[in-house]
Amino acid sequence: MKKSRLAYFLRPLDTMKRLADKRYRGIKLDDLPPQLLNASTLQAADVLFCRGDKRSFSWRMIAYGSSGHYVHAAIYLGDGLVAEATTKGVQACTLAEFTRRYAYVAVTRSPGISRNPTLQNDVLRFCEKHIQARTPYSLPGALLSPWLEFYELCKMHWRYSPLKARPPRKSKRTFCSQFVLDAFIAGGDFAVEHLNSAAHSPTSLAETYCFSLAGYLCVSGELASLVEDDVLWTGGG
């Protein structure tokens, strides 16, 4: 897709996603209306991608920086609980509390769970371990992840990058989408084991399509208008 120089400088990550065929505009992936789920239909180890509120300044900054609408990612533990990496560290909260924070939540599943009988339990054990350790949040990691993604996309498309990036150091801290991806890497999900967890924002992780869309959670119930530009529903904004 040809992009103007102005568009490149205003939204460089979005441009690189399209050049590298990681994002498509206006492609409806399914003619059926989006499926609205309830708590009883969720499965343990489901991955949750969260759309923020457009009225929130912090949401707009995250959406612009990561070139996507998802501002958070987490893992459903089962029994109405969610594991997430927040600024207070890795913690568990109720699904009801979790969904109230966002315009809607996209529920996805790893196809590897049906092929690997131990993956689900391994992911849950990883989550419990970090909840008990209250693994601290990595703000620098969250801020740098779009730049690392841009660097990797440049290498993929141009075989070189205008930016130089050092391999991320091992850290005892984590951020939301890194926590999710590390859980499945630790569980042995071969579909994600090649990914650099430090280089994936929530939107970027959703765009790997390593997780299949199961449906949406939406407190308001007004889902159709909310998912018009959803990454997992339309293929990209």
Task: Provide the pLDDT for residue 30.
Answer: 55
**What's the pLDDT at 170?**
60
Total of domains in the chain: 1
Q: What's the confidence (pLDDT) of residue 183?
A: 97
Residue-wise pLDDT for 27-70, tens only, equals 445 556 778 899 999 999 999 999 877 667 677 777 777 777 89
In a domain, 232, yes or no: no
Neighbouring CB atoms inside 10 A of 128's CB total: 14
Q: What is the pLDDT of residue 161?
A: 47
CATH number at residue 83: 3.90.1720.10
Whether 230 is covered by a domain: the verdict is no
In 18-140, beta strands by DSSP E: 47-51, 70-78, 81-86, 89-94, 104-109
What stretches in the chain show pLDDT beneath 50?
Answer: 1-2, 26-28, 161, 163-168
Q: Is residue 233 part of a domain?
A: no
* φ, ψ dihedrals at 102, nearest 5°: -125, 155
Residue 64, domain member (yes or no): yes
In a domain, 16, yes or no: no
For residue 26, what is the DSSP state?
S
Which domain range does residue 205 map to?
29-225
Query: Which candidate, 135, 144, 155, places its Cα nearest to that of 201?
Result: 144
Please give the pLDDT value at position 21: 63
Which pTM does this prediction carry? Answer: 0.84
* 17 falls within a domain: no
**Position 137 in a domain:** yes
Residue 7 lies in a domain: no
